[in-house]
Structure 1
Amino acid sequence: MGDVVTVPGTYGLGPIEVTAVRDGQVEMAAQLTGPGFSVSGCSGGGGVSSGGRGGVRLTCGEGPAATINDAMSLKVAEVVDKAAVLRIEPAG
């Protein structure tokens, strides 16, 4: 754990840190760099909570991509044991 993915500033997030991989889900945290935050479509019973100090926590399982801030697509492509493959690209 602790892997960090830097994303373009236009996505409205600072670097995304993977904080845990368990039970088929990936837990992530990131600082907000824009004025708001939105997410839709996180699969696997995912959820979002405030991380305090302008941050968010996101939990997603394998499946369709989530759209974050209408700018970024985040897909958990595969979870195996304590490892995961994430696909991050522009939304659209």
Structure 2
Amino acid sequence: MSASRSPTPSPSPTPTGPCADGSCEVTVGVGDVVEVPASYGLGPIEVTAVGGDDVEMVAPVHGSGYSIAGCSGGGSVTSQGGGGVRLRCGVGPAATLNDAMRLTVVEVRGEAAVLRVAPVS
């Protein structure tokens, strides 16, 4: 009788990049992806549009729901093959996502924007 071995599950990838630890200020453009900790309830945030004073983004949602205060958003979108959320945030006060993350559009410069990500304190 031989023992069968079940495959070892692959660990979830650890976020990398300047925002992986949960706090950063980063310049982004369309197509850029900002990795944030899974504890924020979102997967990588992809920038889909930059213009005027607004930045539009999509991100997959971890868990059964999400909350947004301070930027327009919501609606269900497909992001990376699963459920996600679309956000449109303007320059100004920080938005709070999932009561865990603060997202601020610091400034918009043409086709680039400066985003600040921090934990809710």
TM-score in terms of structure 2 length: 0.70
CA shift for structure 1 position 25: 0.5
Residues of 2 paired with 1:32 and 1:2: CA distance? 18
Identity of aligned residues (%): 61
Matches within 5 A, 1:59-78: 59-78=88-107
Deviations 1:44-82 (A, max 9, x none): xx3333214411100001000000000000000000111
Point out 4+ residue stretches in structure 1 off by more than 2 angstroms: 46-49
Mapped partners of 1:50, 1:79: distance in 2: 26
In the alignment, structure 2 segments of 5+ residues that lack a partner are: 1-29
Q: Deviations over 1:18-54 (max 9, x none)?
A: 0110122000000001221001122xxx333321441
Equivalent pairs counted in the alignment come to 89
CA RMSD of aligned residues (A): 1.1
C-alpha distance in 1 between matches for 2:65 and 2:41: 8
| 8 Å Cα contact 2:73-2:85 kept in structure 1 | no
3-state DSSP class of the match of 1:64? coil
**Structure 1 unpaired stretches of 5+:** none
User: What residue number does 1:49 align with?
Assistant: 75
